[in-house]
Structure 1
Amino acid sequence: MEKQSTITNLLVCTGNPDAKRLYDDLLSNYNKLVRPVVNVTDALTVQIKLKLSQLIDVNLKNQIMTTNLWVEQTWYDYKLK
């Protein structure tokens, strides 16, 4: 009976504390729940892209197609410029 041994390497990644502090300082007063417009009556244009990642099934009889999609949404936030 052979014994098997497994060696696992543990990789520890640490971030730059100065970069984290800068990120935290820049976004400390940012509220992601507020619409990013200068005037509340302004419209916000959101671009939506659908990217097909997988075609799972096609049911010709019932005309149903089952897929996996990536949804990408982009908009301009004046507070992040």
Structure 2
Amino acid sequence: FAEFERDAHAMAERGEALNPAALNNLYKKLIVDYFGTELVVDDEVQYEWARIPHFYRPFYVYKYATGYSTAVALSEG
């Protein structure tokens, strides 16, 4: 999810369209990259990004990593 969010923001910064077709292609490419031939990838997976509410808040996914890192640092300190 973090990579999808990062890449979508990069697309916007480059002035590329963030329409459903572009986001579908990005998401499906990442699924194929991550799971390779071990997963049967049907066309419907490309729509999954649209149902994930995390993507509708800027950099929400990164807040998880920041929260976990902070908790570890505090618990070890």
Instruction: State whether TM-score is above 0.5.
Output: no
Whose strand fraction is larger, Structure 1's or Structure 2's? 1
TM-score, L = length of structure 2: 0.19
Q: Who wins on radius of gyration, i.e. which is larger?
A: 1
Whose helix fraction is larger, Structure 1's or Structure 2's? 2
Relative contact order, higher structure (CA 8 A, sep 6+): 2
